[in-house]
Structure 1
Protein backbone atom coordinates (compact mmCIF):
# COMPACT_ATOMS: atom_id res chain seq x y z
CA UNK A 1 0.00 0.00 0.00
CA UNK A 2 1.26 3.45 -0.89
CA UNK A 3 1.27 6.67 1.11
CA UNK A 4 -1.18 8.19 -1.40
CA UNK A 5 -3.72 5.54 -0.33
CA UNK A 6 -3.71 6.57 3.33
CA UNK A 7 -2.64 10.22 3.45
CA UNK A 8 -4.92 13.10 4.29
CA UNK A 9 -5.12 15.76 1.60
CA UNK A 10 -6.73 18.43 3.77
CA UNK A 11 -3.49 19.90 5.07
CA UNK A 12 -3.49 22.97 7.27
CA UNK A 13 -0.70 25.49 6.94
CA UNK A 14 0.46 28.73 8.54
CA UNK A 15 3.01 31.22 7.25
CA UNK A 16 6.47 31.31 8.79
CA UNK A 17 5.81 34.73 10.28
CA UNK A 18 2.73 33.54 12.21
CA UNK A 19 2.72 33.24 15.98
CA UNK A 20 2.10 30.12 17.98
CA UNK A 21 -1.29 31.61 18.90
CA UNK A 22 -2.25 31.65 15.22
CA UNK A 23 -0.97 28.10 14.70
CA UNK A 24 -2.95 26.82 17.70
CA UNK A 25 -6.01 28.65 16.35
CA UNK A 26 -5.64 26.67 13.12
CA UNK A 27 -5.23 23.40 15.05
CA UNK A 28 -8.46 24.06 16.91
CA UNK A 29 -10.46 25.50 14.00
CA UNK A 30 -9.60 22.56 11.74
CA UNK A 31 -9.64 19.82 14.39
CA UNK A 32 -6.18 18.57 13.36
CA UNK A 33 -3.11 17.55 15.30
CA UNK A 34 -0.57 19.52 13.32
CA UNK A 35 -0.05 22.48 11.04
CA UNK A 36 2.70 22.82 8.47
CA UNK A 37 4.75 26.02 8.57
CA UNK A 38 5.43 27.48 5.13
CA UNK A 39 7.96 29.96 3.80
CA UNK A 40 7.66 30.79 0.10
CA UNK A 41 5.10 27.98 -0.23
CA UNK A 42 7.68 25.42 0.96
CA UNK A 43 7.41 23.44 4.21
CA UNK A 44 9.94 24.71 6.73
CA UNK A 45 8.51 23.25 9.90
CA UNK A 46 5.61 21.52 11.55
CA UNK A 47 3.80 22.41 14.76
CA UNK A 48 1.99 19.65 16.63
CA UNK A 49 -0.30 19.90 19.62
CA UNK A 50 2.49 18.56 21.82
CA UNK A 51 4.97 21.07 20.38
CA UNK A 52 2.59 23.93 21.19
CA UNK A 53 2.07 22.76 24.76
CA UNK A 54 5.81 22.27 25.34
CA UNK A 55 6.68 25.69 23.88
CA UNK A 56 4.08 27.43 26.02
CA UNK A 57 5.13 25.55 29.15
CA UNK A 58 8.87 26.06 28.64
CA UNK A 59 8.69 29.75 27.76
CA UNK A 60 5.91 30.80 30.09
CA UNK A 61 5.05 33.41 27.46
CA UNK A 62 1.64 34.01 25.94
CA UNK A 63 1.12 32.10 22.69
CA UNK A 64 1.00 35.29 20.64
CA UNK A 65 4.50 36.10 21.88
CA UNK A 66 6.03 32.85 20.65
CA UNK A 67 7.48 32.95 17.15
CA UNK A 68 7.26 29.83 14.98
CA UNK A 69 11.00 29.98 14.26
CA UNK A 70 11.66 27.40 16.96
CA UNK A 71 9.70 24.87 14.86
CA UNK A 72 11.61 25.64 11.69
CA UNK A 73 15.12 24.74 12.78
CA UNK A 74 16.75 21.97 10.79
CA UNK A 75 15.38 19.97 7.93
CA UNK A 76 11.73 18.95 7.91
CA UNK A 77 11.14 15.27 7.28
CA UNK A 78 8.89 14.61 4.29
CA UNK A 79 7.86 11.68 2.17
CA UNK A 80 6.52 11.12 -1.33
CA UNK A 81 3.06 9.81 -2.28
CA UNK A 82 4.54 6.74 -4.03
CA UNK A 83 6.47 5.48 -1.00
CA UNK A 84 5.15 2.39 0.68
CA UNK A 85 3.31 2.82 3.94
CA UNK A 86 5.63 0.24 5.48
CA UNK A 87 8.69 2.35 4.59
CA UNK A 88 7.14 5.49 6.07
CA UNK A 89 6.04 3.64 9.21
CA UNK A 90 9.63 2.45 9.65
CA UNK A 91 10.93 6.02 9.23
CA UNK A 92 8.40 7.22 11.79
CA UNK A 93 9.64 4.64 14.27
CA UNK A 94 13.32 5.27 13.50
CA UNK A 95 13.03 9.07 13.65
CA UNK A 96 10.49 9.24 16.49
CA UNK A 97 7.94 11.29 14.55
CA UNK A 98 4.23 10.75 14.02
CA UNK A 99 3.54 13.03 11.06
CA UNK A 100 5.14 13.42 7.65
CA UNK A 101 4.16 16.06 5.11
CA UNK A 102 3.76 14.43 1.69
CA UNK A 103 5.44 16.27 -1.17
CA UNK A 104 5.31 15.65 -4.88
CA UNK A 105 8.23 17.53 -6.33
CA UNK A 106 7.93 20.99 -4.78
CA UNK A 107 4.21 20.72 -3.99
CA UNK A 108 2.72 19.69 -0.66
CA UNK A 109 -0.02 17.21 -1.53
CA UNK A 110 -0.95 15.87 1.89
CA UNK A 111 0.15 14.60 5.25
CA UNK A 112 0.46 11.06 6.54
CA UNK A 113 0.19 10.44 10.25
CA UNK A 114 0.56 7.52 12.56
CA UNK A 115 -3.21 7.71 13.03
CA UNK A 116 -3.72 7.33 9.25
CA UNK A 117 -1.55 4.22 9.27
CA UNK A 118 -3.30 2.69 12.28
CA UNK A 119 -6.69 3.42 10.72
CA UNK A 120 -5.69 1.47 7.59
CA UNK A 121 -3.81 -1.28 9.42
CA UNK A 122 -6.25 -4.04 8.48
CA UNK A 123 -6.00 -3.05 4.79
CA UNK A 124 -2.20 -3.03 5.03
CA UNK A 125 -2.19 -6.48 6.62
CA UNK A 126 -4.58 -7.81 3.98
CA UNK A 127 -2.37 -6.49 1.21
CA UNK A 128 0.72 -8.01 2.82
CA UNK A 129 -1.04 -11.37 3.06
CA UNK A 130 -2.14 -11.21 -0.61
CA UNK A 131 1.45 -10.45 -1.65
CA UNK A 132 2.78 -13.29 0.50
CA UNK A 133 0.23 -15.67 -1.00
CA UNK A 134 1.14 -14.56 -4.51
CA UNK A 135 4.84 -15.09 -3.75
CA UNK A 136 4.03 -18.59 -2.49
CA UNK A 137 2.09 -19.33 -5.70
CA UNK A 138 5.08 -18.23 -7.82
CA UNK A 139 7.63 -20.17 -5.86
CA UNK A 140 5.56 -23.28 -5.30
Structure 2
Protein backbone atom coordinates (compact mmCIF):
# COMPACT_ATOMS: atom_id res chain seq x y z
CA UNK A 1 0.00 0.00 0.00
CA UNK A 2 1.34 3.42 -0.97
CA UNK A 3 1.19 6.76 0.86
CA UNK A 4 -0.93 8.21 -1.96
CA UNK A 5 -3.59 5.61 -1.12
CA UNK A 6 -4.06 6.84 2.45
CA UNK A 7 -2.99 10.49 2.55
CA UNK A 8 -5.27 13.50 2.76
CA UNK A 9 -4.78 15.40 -0.48
CA UNK A 10 -5.40 18.81 1.05
CA UNK A 11 -2.42 20.78 2.37
CA UNK A 12 -3.43 23.69 4.58
CA UNK A 13 -0.77 26.36 4.94
CA UNK A 14 0.00 29.43 7.01
CA UNK A 15 2.61 32.14 6.51
CA UNK A 16 5.59 32.07 8.87
CA UNK A 17 4.96 35.69 9.87
CA UNK A 18 1.32 35.12 10.81
CA UNK A 19 0.41 34.99 14.50
CA UNK A 20 -0.35 31.77 16.33
CA UNK A 21 -3.88 33.12 16.83
CA UNK A 22 -4.32 33.37 13.06
CA UNK A 23 -2.88 29.86 12.67
CA UNK A 24 -5.21 28.48 15.35
CA UNK A 25 -8.19 30.02 13.57
CA UNK A 26 -7.09 28.41 10.32
CA UNK A 27 -6.76 25.01 11.98
CA UNK A 28 -10.21 25.30 13.54
CA UNK A 29 -11.82 26.47 10.27
CA UNK A 30 -10.17 23.72 8.20
CA UNK A 31 -10.54 21.07 10.93
CA UNK A 32 -6.89 19.99 10.73
CA UNK A 33 -4.27 19.22 13.35
CA UNK A 34 -1.36 20.82 11.54
CA UNK A 35 -0.43 23.51 9.06
CA UNK A 36 2.49 23.60 6.66
CA UNK A 37 4.33 26.85 7.30
CA UNK A 38 5.45 28.83 4.26
CA UNK A 39 8.02 31.58 3.90
CA UNK A 40 7.94 33.49 0.62
CA UNK A 41 5.59 30.80 -0.69
CA UNK A 42 7.98 27.91 -0.02
CA UNK A 43 7.48 25.25 2.68
CA UNK A 44 9.59 26.13 5.72
CA UNK A 45 8.25 23.92 8.51
CA UNK A 46 5.13 22.55 10.13
CA UNK A 47 2.96 23.81 12.98
CA UNK A 48 1.18 21.13 15.00
CA UNK A 49 -1.07 21.05 18.02
CA UNK A 50 1.96 20.00 20.08
CA UNK A 51 3.83 23.07 18.85
CA UNK A 52 0.97 25.23 20.18
CA UNK A 53 1.24 23.69 23.63
CA UNK A 54 5.01 24.13 23.67
CA UNK A 55 4.76 27.73 22.46
CA UNK A 56 2.14 28.59 25.08
CA UNK A 57 4.37 27.25 27.82
CA UNK A 58 7.64 28.65 26.46
CA UNK A 59 6.51 32.16 25.48
CA UNK A 60 3.84 32.76 28.15
CA UNK A 61 2.24 35.39 25.91
CA UNK A 62 -1.07 35.61 24.04
CA UNK A 63 -1.06 33.70 20.75
CA UNK A 64 -1.78 36.97 18.97
CA UNK A 65 1.73 38.13 19.98
CA UNK A 66 3.67 35.01 18.95
CA UNK A 67 4.65 34.56 15.29
CA UNK A 68 4.26 31.14 13.71
CA UNK A 69 7.98 30.97 12.88
CA UNK A 70 8.77 31.07 16.62
CA UNK A 71 6.72 27.94 17.28
CA UNK A 72 6.96 25.82 14.12
CA UNK A 73 8.92 22.58 13.85
CA UNK A 74 11.72 22.44 11.33
CA UNK A 75 13.19 21.15 9.17
CA UNK A 76 10.13 19.91 7.33
CA UNK A 77 10.22 16.12 7.12
CA UNK A 78 8.39 14.77 4.05
CA UNK A 79 7.64 11.49 2.31
CA UNK A 80 6.91 10.77 -1.36
CA UNK A 81 3.45 9.67 -2.52
CA UNK A 82 4.85 6.46 -4.05
CA UNK A 83 6.58 5.42 -0.82
CA UNK A 84 5.04 2.52 1.06
CA UNK A 85 2.88 3.14 4.08
CA UNK A 86 5.37 1.07 6.06
CA UNK A 87 8.19 3.41 5.00
CA UNK A 88 6.11 6.43 6.06
CA UNK A 89 5.39 4.82 9.43
CA UNK A 90 9.10 4.12 9.89
CA UNK A 91 9.96 7.74 9.06
CA UNK A 92 7.35 8.99 11.52
CA UNK A 93 8.73 6.73 14.24
CA UNK A 94 12.38 7.53 13.54
CA UNK A 95 11.81 11.30 13.35
CA UNK A 96 9.25 11.46 16.17
CA UNK A 97 6.49 13.07 14.10
CA UNK A 98 2.77 12.33 13.86
CA UNK A 99 2.04 14.32 10.71
CA UNK A 100 4.06 13.93 7.55
CA UNK A 101 3.63 16.19 4.52
CA UNK A 102 3.73 14.34 1.21
CA UNK A 103 5.95 15.87 -1.47
CA UNK A 104 6.02 14.95 -5.15
CA UNK A 105 9.41 16.38 -6.05
CA UNK A 106 9.00 20.06 -5.04
CA UNK A 107 5.20 20.10 -4.79
CA UNK A 108 3.35 19.33 -1.56
CA UNK A 109 0.46 17.07 -2.54
CA UNK A 110 -0.91 15.87 0.77
CA UNK A 111 -0.42 14.94 4.40
CA UNK A 112 -0.34 11.52 6.02
CA UNK A 113 -0.94 11.20 9.76
CA UNK A 114 -0.76 8.50 12.39
CA UNK A 115 -4.57 8.50 12.31
CA UNK A 116 -4.42 7.65 8.59
CA UNK A 117 -2.08 4.76 9.35
CA UNK A 118 -4.27 3.40 12.12
CA UNK A 119 -7.26 3.53 9.76
CA UNK A 120 -5.55 1.15 7.30
CA UNK A 121 -4.00 -1.18 9.87
CA UNK A 122 -6.32 -4.08 8.96
CA UNK A 123 -5.58 -3.60 5.25
CA UNK A 124 -1.84 -3.68 5.95
CA UNK A 125 -2.19 -6.90 7.97
CA UNK A 126 -4.19 -8.49 5.13
CA UNK A 127 -1.58 -7.33 2.60
CA UNK A 128 1.17 -8.91 4.70
CA UNK A 129 -0.71 -12.22 4.93
CA UNK A 130 -1.20 -12.24 1.16
CA UNK A 131 2.51 -11.65 0.56
CA UNK A 132 3.43 -14.44 2.98
CA UNK A 133 0.98 -16.79 1.26
CA UNK A 134 2.51 -15.92 -2.14
CA UNK A 135 6.00 -16.53 -0.77
CA UNK A 136 4.98 -19.99 0.48
CA UNK A 137 3.41 -20.79 -2.89
CA UNK A 138 6.56 -19.76 -4.75
CA UNK A 139 8.71 -21.75 -2.34
CA UNK A 140 6.57 -24.82 -3.05
CA UNK A 141 5.26 -25.24 0.46
CA apart distance, 1:70: 2.5
Structure 1 residue 113 corresponds to structure 2 residue 113? yes
Deviation at 1:73, TM superposition (A): 6.2
Note if contact 1:46-1:71 (Cα within 8 Å) is conserved in structure 2.
no
Partner secondary structure for residue 130 of structure 2:
helix
The C-alpha deviation readout for 1:45-95, integer Å capped at 9, x for no partner, is 111112112201221111111112234564210000010110111111111
Coordinate RMSD, CA, aligned: 1.4
Residues 12-47 of structure 1 deviation map (CA, whole Å, 9 limit, x = unaligned): 111122111111111111111111101233221111
Residue matched to 1:130: 130
Instruction: List, as ranges, runs of 4+ consecutive aligned residues in structure 1 with deviation greater than 3 Å.
Output: 71-74
Q: Whole-Å Cα distance in 2 between the matches of residues 6 and 136 of structure 1? A: 28
Q: Matched residues in 2 for 1:86 and 1:36: separation? A: 23
TM-score (norm 1): 0.93
Q: State how 1:1-140 maps to structure 2 within 5 Å.
A: 1-72=1-72, 74-140=74-140
Aligned length: 140
Give ranges in structure 1 of 5+ residues lacking alignment: none
**Structure 2: unaligned runs, 5 residues or longer:** none
